Structure 1
Amino acid sequence: MSVLLSLLGTFSLFSLMAVGGANALLPEIHRYVVESNGWMTGTEFAALFAIAQAAPGPNVLVVSLIGWKVAGIPGALVSTLGMCGPSSLLSFYVARLWQRFRASPWRRVIERGLAPVTIGLVLGSAWLLSRSANDGWASWLLCGATAAVAWKSRLNPLWLLGAGALLGWLGLV
């Protein structure tokens, strides 16, 4: 029972820190499960992560597998509840509060203020990923052209992805 309470409590705290999903907390989850409690080895942890990534579904599946490894099905249920429950409840109540004040002037100010922040974060992520992925002028050109087409058209992004894959396969990028 104490293991289940420990899983519930810890994953509940992780839930509120998991900005970006469960994978953002993998080093801390590893420290908690492998190093602090010794519930599994690092190899077992890596195998559970690989299984979770190979399976279809959200990245939070790794938490369910860890709970299952530590305490069976009750552990999987408690870990998943801990990881999903608190952040879901917080989102629910914040959304209700946001809806209640939909006509408030401060809500519009916050929305207008958050729009540039959101755009900046998206552009910053795009720049970081582009810098990591592009190694020559051809790949930068493809990246810029893809961004322009995605921005100015309603073309499904999968066509752009396919075109980039074809150009890569042909050795042009």
Structure 2
Amino acid sequence: MTAFLLHLLRHGAPALPGRLMGRTDCPATAEGIAACIKQVEGLSFDRLISSDLVRCADAARAIGAATIDPRWRELDFGEWDGVAASEVDAAAIGAFWDDPDANPPPGGERWSSLVERVGEAIRELAPVDTLVVTHGGAMRAALLDLCGFQQKDLWAFDLPYAALLTLKIWPGERPTAQIVGLS
């Protein structure tokens, strides 16, 4: 099968910065949406997909007509969702960052569940150049699923708000990818 490009765009800066934003549906700032639009200027894609959370969906609508897919949501932080990381027990959040699958947030989602749902969304993509407006955690989950990185190595990727990660995907039962750009 022919390879295609998958562009993953992290949403712009949220109106409530400094919080663990999983399912919390907080909009991006106007500046954050503008940064997303600027990031994709001149980018060629055939399909636009977005997480259903407003901080992604608003940016996607500003870019073009998007299909909404909730599988591209951020990790659900459970009881920590919407809370500043500094307000969470230091030992508990440290254990989470060290091994988010073994130590998920109370009432939250396991890392492996995020990787599974993002991987499912990837395997169902049509083999056309695609832009997905999503979240930092979902972008890291895609890297693990497609490139085989170890979970601990994913934190080395700097994915600030409005970051654009481009992967070349070779479709198949178990797709593979190569990173071709990160800005």
Per the normalisation by structure 1, the TM-score is: 0.28
Larger gyration radius, structure 1 or structure 2: 1
**Which structure carries more strand by proportion?**
2
Q: TM-score, normalised by structure 2?
A: 0.27
Structure with the higher helix share, 1 or 2: 1
